[in-house]
């Protein structure tokens, strides 16, 4: 389960960890090897065990950049609106 550390550190709740574990092929049978009834209870324990810094967000927010992608999108859609 050490290979899922990055997933656990960046998760905002246990359900995100459960989804990531299932995406990596972890099943209820695998969770039973770790003495859990299902992937969700395993994810809850993994979420509880990860040390988090309350000061930082799970993912760093990008710097304030101008939204340049919106103008070309609107210009591309303009002929369809006419």
The domain segmentation of the chain, as residue ranges, is: 1-52
Q: Residue written as tokens 């899922």?
A: 4
pLDDT tens digit sequence for 25-79: 999 999 999 999 999 999 999 999 987 665 555 556 666 666 567 777 777 888 8
Q: Got the DSSP string for 55-72?
A: TS-SSPPPP-----SHHH
Nearest of 52, 53, 47 to residue 15 by alpha carbon? 47
Query: Is the pLDDT score of 19 beyond 80?
Result: yes
Cβ neighbours of residue 13 under 8 Å, at least 6 residues apart?
A: 47
Identify whether the C-beta of residue 43 lies closer than 8 Å to the C-beta of residue 18: yes
What's residue 39's pLDDT? 95
């Amino acid at each position: 389960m050490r290979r899922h550390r990055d997933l656990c550190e960046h998760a905002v709740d246990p359900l995100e960890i459960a989804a990531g574990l299932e995406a990596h092929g972890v099943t209820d049978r695998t969770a039973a090897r770790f003495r859990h009834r299902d992937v969700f209870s395993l994810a809850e324990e993994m979420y509880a065990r990860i040390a988090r810094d309350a000061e930082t967000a799970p993912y760093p927010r990008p710097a304030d950049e101008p939204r340049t992608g919106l103008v070309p999108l609107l210009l591309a859609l303009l002929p369809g609106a006419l």
